[in-house]
Structure 1
Amino acid sequence: MQQDWRAENADADHISVGGVGAHPRFHEAKAMLIDGLAGLYLGDRRLRGLIEYERGVSFMLIVSLDAMHDPESRESGVSMQVLNEVLPKMGIAPGRRIADLVANLRRDDLLDSLPAPHDRRVRLLRASPRAILADSEWIAVFHAPLTVLRPEVDYRPALNRDRAYQRAFRLSGLRTLAIANEIMSANPPMDYFVQEAVGFRLLMILMQSVRGGAGNRTAPGFYSHAAEQGGVSRTYVKNVLKGAAERGFVALSARPGDYVEIRPVLHEAFDRWVAESLSSIDRVRVQAEFP
């Protein structure tokens, strides 16, 4: 990883972190990203969990490594051994936790398990057609805001779910895994929400709900709205937000359910995450070997 990946670079072909944050249409791009992530996979219960950190990272890593698959190479392929070597670098515990994540992905028809051609005792994980489609949707959601920030750049391969671009993008992304991990781990408010089950989606719903409102507050009934959209209980939503309030990220009304107020520290952290994420996506696009 380059140590100065956040630094300004006037000669870069991708938009810098500062360039995203200072862009006159930043808030429009941010709203587009929030809406895309809040609604991502909502129509399919088995895919909803891909927006959660551990499941999503495991899934995208397997899709990325699977893009390197060469049936003629003995070293090629995604095995449990490979995952236990790589995923801990992304903050996911090896062993049982990774085995459970893989089992759940297989249960939801996102992974196929096949014997290795050179050693049938070894099982290789392959992304299913369903997984490829789900991943292309994720890529489109993260590229869409860039069309607002850089209308002169052709992002249609990502938006049109071009399979060749998807493969090139995922192969390129393998070189920036450390950056992807740092974006979250170095941002405590964002890290809190992504570590909570369904917390990332709840955060997107929260950001949607305060948009255009006075005082960065939701309207009454947010707990019920977020519970319905997130597929969890109202009590669970309340508990996640209570934890966020204890950390100073949000403020809750004295009478439960009247409003949730986003504190400046969360707003600043969220805007930084948006800027770093979109800059990183554009960087990976530039480095991808795609016509």
Structure 2
Amino acid sequence: MDQVTFDDCSVAFRVPSYQFLSAPGFAEARDGLIAGKLALYEGNHLFNRLILEEGRFLCYLAVLALHAAQDITQPATWLTLGRLQREVTDLGIASRNRVEAQVSYLRKYGFLSQQPHASDRRVRLLVPSSALLARDARVLGLLLNGISLFGLSPTEGCRGSPDAALHKGMRRATLSHLPDISRLIRRHLPLAPFFAHDCGYMIMLLLLRGAQENDGFVVTTGYQRLATQTGVSRTHVRRIVEAARDGGLVETDARGGHDIKLTPLMWHAADRWFADQFALTDLLLREALD
């Protein structure tokens, strides 16, 4: 069992991420994942703003994991606002007030509801909508499709969106790994300009796809087009790209963000990120099947 070491802990991947990175099918799996995620997220400005930033993303994952691990006969496992706040604040990535705000947004737009417990109506349980669960299953399906290309993972459920039982099992397994996932994100410091901002992850995917469509490095786009695709302001996009430039990930010469050039460091950092995502998915799948 491989140990991917951090400053203060390890993630016990069953298959080392470097095995995915060095496998012949890595580029195909990576490109499929980029295309699949953009097909899900591109144009859905609301969903992008709600989850595609580190703190919001981990809050979203915590909701799904706590829901999957909930035992209605065990009050300590119930998915309440207080339980969610404790889980997320323990990760050190969001305050109680920020978690409450995120829940309010999810409720406002129908991704989450708050319902009284059947036996104690004073208790308000948080319940993910069927639409949120279906979208999450599709995201996991993209990752399962990816790892199916390597021949390194179990074959059960490795094509398409997982069925309800496997989806629940993988998200139940996610609960104990939330601290690992938080540290995993922070491990990829070169990508911080994207991970730390609203829609930054989406902008990263768009830049990678844009480069793939050309010579692998030059993206013939501009700040305004990226802003339109992600639903944030042109200024917000410019700040993210400039932060990426300062980190050595991209080069910008033309005004308005035209002809952004991805550096080899950008591709190296992105490939390491996707390799870790495949390794994490393999781990969750194995634990769900155990």
Alignment of 1:123-272 (within 5 A): 123-150=124-151, 153-154=154-155, 156=157, 159-211=160-212, 213-214=214-215, 216-219=217-220, 221-272=221-272
Residue identity matched to 2:96:
G
Please list every run of 5 or more consecutive structure 1 residues that lacks an aligned counterpart in the other structure: none
Provide the rounded CA distance (Å) in 2 between the counterparts of 1:40 and 1:183. 23
Match status 1:67 vs 2:68? yes
Please provide the CA RMSD for this pair.
Answer: 2.6
- Name the count of aligned residue pairs: 284
CA shift, 1:118, in A, is 5.0
What is aligned with 2:3?
4
Flag as ranges the 4+ runs of structure 1 deviating above 4 A: none
Q: Give the secondary-structure state (helix, strand or coil) at the position aligned to 1:196.
A: coil
* Residues 22-31 or 39-48, more deviating: 39-48
With structure 1 as the length reference, what TM-score do the two structures score?
0.87
What is aligned with 1:55?
56
What is aligned with 2:9?
none
Please list every run of 5 or more consecutive structure 2 residues that lacks an aligned counterpart in the other structure: 7-11
Provide the rounded CA distance (Å) in 2 between the counterparts of 1:125 and 1:61. 12
Residues 48 and 93 of structure 1, relative CA distance in 2, 3 Å threshold? closer
CA shift, 1:203, in A, is 0.3
With structure 2 as the length reference, what TM-score do the two structures score?
0.87
CA shift, 1:225, in A, is 3.1
What is aligned with 2:278?
278
Residues 44 and 187 of structure 1, relative CA distance in 2, 3 Å threshold? closer
* Residues 204-213 or 41-50, more deviating: 41-50
Q: Give the secondary-structure state (helix, strand or coil) at the position aligned to 2:75.
A: coil
CA shift, 1:28, in A, is 1.1
Give the fraction of aligned pairs with identical amino acids, expressed as a percent. Answer: 24
CA shift, 1:248, in A, is 2.3
Q: Give the secondary-structure state (helix, strand or coil) at the position aligned to 1:21.
A: helix
Kept in 1: contact 2:32–2:146 (CA 8 A): yes
